[in-house]
Structure 1
């Protein structure tokens, strides 16, 4: 006879069932807490649940932890990963098409050709078909994989496929994606566009902690598997080289964590790693001392409050010079390089485009390299759509974008004003008990961005010191982030303008309607000579005269010549394409497929094509997202009112 007692296991989470009396007591306690201090229980719940683990991959991401060895986090091959979830909405398809066009930009491949789309099992993918399949998706993910040793990887295509296959296993669904490799920057990298749809037809929701840690861990895993782990000697050498960088580094972040009110006290090293770390910190502190960002103190080292902002600005300037060097080459003049987002930049700047390149791949932003009339070379970040960038030789006018503080800035300033210039999450919760933890987190992230710009300071207790002029400085920060506003004065080079049979920006300057400040060298001197040549040509053609000391241009005759020049260009394109050219008439409908644009002294024009004929109409940037699509509109004075329609195919001119 068995002495064992029979039992029936009940599967589930181990916990105490509790008693009804205990539950009633806790419920009453929470009610009293809420009455005593409104929002106290809500904050307790916020701290307990953040939503970081909602979505696919949450459990896998939680398993990615550092090993115990001090160099463990440095042993793996490093891969920088940026991920954005982009809501498509009703009008998201044109934006998605523009992004796909952006990442397939000219010069992206090793041989200088445009980037080529590939997928999980194909080396060539039709981007239009990919977008068509995902046109009803709620969102898409845009991912950048940037291995530190990308040049040593044998095949970036295979690396990307391995990373995405690992992600498929982690997320438990097949992933539909396309990718492009970019070799036109300092660090080769990969752009991946991932559809926001799982294989069960539902929205693909990826846990926040997998987005933060999972993709990077899998990418580093694949890179380490192919190249092998980094040796301790290599890691130590890389860290010591980092100590001399004139930019914000991970060592600076460690020093900030060690500091108390800006004072760093280095403890006596006890282990071999501690001795290396102490030597590393001393090397970095000496570099900061040379940059006047740290000084020796009786009790240690005193860090400058402006250290992070200054180092980030120095790093940005270094990035600007490298990116300018890529597009300008030997013509780059280091002492004359200026950043148009800087506070000292003029509100209006006229310059000649000498190149363009990628400024922020994560947000599809590009930059223009300009030669200004004042002799400087300018780097200007712009928010122009793919296909809207003026080519080298074009003349543009830059102006500062309008900037205003965000709604979160107004909230932060209001709370800080009531608490002696201090903001914190707790103060925010007291001011607005209904605010969620995620909502307050967006304010913290905003302050982190402004802290890196040197606008606010964070205290050790997690609170923030907000300056009295916070809103004005936040608005200035927004202006710098918005990019420059661009007005193209001439889509063609300056050399084509003196005898152009169309109105040009030189005419406005000659009539004193525009003001072009120049110097006697470089582009400024070229503008002066072009204005003199334009004046002589207009006088010789009888298109201008001197009246009472004023230079007057016959605009009617010049407009007639401009129309004749447009007809001549249409005849040239007709001969090239074999299709007849028809002029657009004001008040009549223009319809066809937008093929491409053509640059003339009179401006940029769009080629709108039918089966047997085409026409030329004034171009707009919005057309670039609809290349190859059927469009229609009504010709008005100076432009076309467009109505965009369905996609069609066909040969291009």
Structure 2
């Protein structure tokens, strides 16, 4: 790992300062600890990230973290990494080191094509988002027709007076001016502008908001088509349903088909596709990639449950509320600049336009001085408005990490068993589509249970043996322990309620009814512990954790303080 020493070399930081490595969370990470974690890896990856206009990116650390998050999504695994900024050449750049291990402990394999092109494409896309797209003349033609908010729309709004724009107000810039007129005609076709008189257009007051919603709708339609293509099916309007358009208490249970990114941000939102037990194909919007952590590593076709949830607030709405809350529920551009002096004028203008759209909906008011006044229930009213526009985020629950085909033969408890036993909700079950497949799979499941001595078919139907589900749980736990010991060389045990556990969190283990975190004990080289997994634990992967089991939960902490506690306990134990 000589490269780790190179990235930390003196004099390569800003203004000749020493370089400090960073990781996904810390600006001052421990390079030596990273080298130790890599000691038994078969390989590691070194990447130099050198954006074309890197000097214009104020936060290269944030840029690198966002880039790695997108790479993790592409590769389907969380990556353990460190990096360092170098400013000792004419172009600021970042040296990135990644471990050669996936989050499940297997070797990380990155295709040669991704190493040569994938990183570059992700880096270029992210830089474009940060620095803004540059619409070259040959791209203006495409921008004219787009059903989303574009740079042309931003130009039109900046030249509008009182919501109207005349030909005389347009900049005299040849081809660009011509494209602006074409864009006005396109907005008129979309019902977002009208001509009160020749040579003049009146723009919709919430033009940006409406274009964003239109873009959301079109992006969702494309994502739905891609999800259906996973099953080699075309669009089927008669059986396709959107969770957000259903009743507020709607719950969907079924087979996970896949997820598709909505927009250009890999962090979300995403669209999930589920074949429901009601025979319908359901789509649901999930706002953040973090909300999908529970699905990492599951089989294709895993069984999930979707519930409607409270619509998420936009970043701009949160910023508006935070500023107004500290200023007597008042927002203005001056108050914004006073609290956040680093924000650019066009960014502040975007917040004012957002509030103007909310004013027309009767949510906020505006005084003669241009300041906006927010109601006490601003957050809930904005959330309700967003829910009507499809920006709601569904709640996703994993019911079984195994596909229906796997469950039929699985030597452990399954969702199929719970359905047959009446534990799962069957109110929406229909003998069509996926629902019919469930019935067929249960017939195969009955045969498996009979072979295992856990039931028998009689004239009046299948009769399970006494405590059949308990026996299946015991079988699954035994198989899991044997597999983990074979793969890691450590004998695992399941922690009991109230147990205090500490050690190195190395991987997540999916079992039929719950996921577990595997923690390697540091006081015994041949022992490990399985504790209930929770999504927040992914931040502590390959780090030392300490906590207590609380029923089906694990209250834990991690970081330098935990490492010191464990080291101290080991030293005391060694002296004893």
Does residue 142 (structure 1) correspond to residue 35 (structure 2)? The answer is no
| CA contact 1:590–1:634 (8 Å) conserved in 2 | yes
Q: Are residues 116 and 248 of structure 1, via their aligned partners in 2, closer, same or farther at CA, if it must alter by over 3 Å?
A: farther
Structure 1 unpaired stretches of 5+: 1-56, 58-91, 100-113, 122-138, 148-159, 169-174, 194-211, 221-229, 418-422, 430-434
Question: By how many angstroms is 1:283 displaced?
Answer: 1.9
Question: By how many angstroms is 1:115 displaced?
Answer: 11
State the Cα deviation string for residues 137-161 of structure 1 (Å, max 9, x = none).
xx984027999xxxxxxxxxxxx99
Paired positions, count: 461
* Counterpart for residue 304 of structure 1: 204
Question: By how many angstroms is 1:520 displaced?
Answer: 5.5
| CA contact 1:397–1:487 (8 Å) conserved in 2 | yes
Distance in structure 2 (CA, Å) of the matches to 1:508 and 1:424: 53
SS at match of 1:397: strand
State the Cα deviation string for residues 262-309 of structure 1 (Å, max 9, x = none).
3332239996x34x3453233223322322223333343333345332
SS at match of 2:539: helix
**Equivalent residue in structure 2 for 1:626, among 537, 540, 554:** 540
More RCO (CA 8 Å, sep 6+)? 1
| CA contact 1:584–1:617 (8 Å) conserved in 2 | yes
State the Cα deviation string for residues 5-36 of structure 1 (Å, max 9, x = none).
xxxxxxxxxxxxxxxxxxxxxxxxxxxxxxxx
State the Cα deviation string for residues 359-389 of structure 1 (Å, max 9, x = none).
6887844635322412134443334279643
**Equivalent residue in structure 2 for 1:283, among 182, 185, 195:** 182
Distance in structure 1 (CA, Å) of the matches to 2:213 and 2:244: 11
Alignment of 1:419-568 (within 5 A): 425=332, 437-438=338-339, 446-449=351-354, 472-476=380-384, 483-498=393-408, 500-510=410-420, 511=422, 513-515=424-426, 517-518=428-429, 522-530=433-441, 556-568=467-479
**Equivalent residue in structure 1 for 2:153, among 252, 266, 271:** 252
More deviation, 494-503/436-445: 436-445
Distance in structure 1 (CA, Å) of the matches to 2:223 and 2:320: 33
Distance in structure 2 (CA, Å) of the matches to 1:188 and 1:243: 26
State the Cα deviation string for residues 163-220 of structure 1 (Å, max 9, x = none).
995576xxxxxx8764899966995325999xxxxxxxxxxxxxxxxxx99x849xx9
Q: Are residues 500 and 413 of structure 1, via their aligned partners in 2, closer, same or farther at CA, if it must alter by over 3 Å?
A: same
Structure 2 unpaired stretches of 5+: 1-13, 15-21, 30-42, 51-58, 68-83, 99-113, 568-576
Question: By how many angstroms is 1:497 displaced?
Answer: 2.8
Question: By how many angstroms is 1:620 displaced?
Answer: 2.4
SS at match of 2:425: coil
Question: By how many angstroms is 1:558 displaced?
Answer: 1.4
Alignment of 1:203-352 (within 5 A): 216=131, 235-267=136-168, 273-274=173-174, 276-299=175-198, 300-320=200-220, 330-331=230-231, 333-334=234-235, 347-352=250-255
**Equivalent residue in structure 1 for 2:256, among 345, 353, 373:** 353
SS at match of 1:514: coil
* Counterpart for residue 47 of structure 2: 118
Whose Rg is larger?
1
TM-score, normalising length: structure 1: 0.54
Distance in structure 1 (CA, Å) of the matches to 2:464 and 2:376: 53
Q: Are residues 445 and 302 of structure 1, via their aligned partners in 2, closer, same or farther at CA, if it must alter by over 3 Å?
A: closer
Does residue 367 (structure 1) correspond to residue 284 (structure 2)? The answer is no
Alignment of 1:1-80 (within 5 A): none
| CA contact 1:497–1:601 (8 Å) conserved in 2 | no
Question: By how many angstroms is 1:251 displaced?
Answer: 1.6
Distance in structure 1 (CA, Å) of the matches to 2:86 and 2:325: 47
| CA contact 2:241–2:281 (8 Å) conserved in 1 | no
| CA contact 2:408–2:445 (8 Å) conserved in 1 | yes
Distance in structure 1 (CA, Å) of the matches to 2:121 and 2:157: 28
SS at match of 1:142: helix
SS at match of 2:179: helix
SS at match of 2:182: helix
Distance in structure 2 (CA, Å) of the matches to 1:401 and 1:178: 38
State the Cα deviation string for residues 539-580 of structure 1 (Å, max 9, x = none).
9989799xxx9x998895412430232112212333344444
Does residue 399 (structure 1) correspond to residue 307 (structure 2)? The answer is yes
Alignment of 1:571-650 (within 5 A): 571-585=482-496, 588-610=499-521, 611-635=525-549, 637-642=551-556, 644=558, 645-646=562-563
State the Cα deviation string for residues 57-76 of structure 1 (Å, max 9, x = none).
9xxxxxxxxxxxxxxxxxxx
State the Cα deviation string for residues 22-61 of structure 1 (Å, max 9, x = none).
xxxxxxxxxxxxxxxxxxxxxxxxxxxxxxxxxxx9xxxx
More deviation, 287-296/325-334: 325-334
Q: Are residues 261 and 187 of structure 1, via their aligned partners in 2, closer, same or farther at CA, if it must alter by over 3 Å?
A: farther
Distance in structure 2 (CA, Å) of the matches to 1:96 and 1:487: 30
Q: Are residues 525 and 248 of structure 1, via their aligned partners in 2, closer, same or farther at CA, if it must alter by over 3 Å?
A: farther
Distance in structure 2 (CA, Å) of the matches to 1:516 and 1:184: 46
State the Cα deviation string for residues 294-336 of structure 1 (Å, max 9, x = none).
3333343333345332321222344445666777755474565
Question: By how many angstroms is 1:625 displaced?
Answer: 2.1
CA RMSD of aligned residues (A): 5.7
Distance in structure 1 (CA, Å) of the matches to 2:288 and 2:190: 31
More deviation, 291-300/408-417: 408-417
* Counterpart for residue 34 of structure 1: none
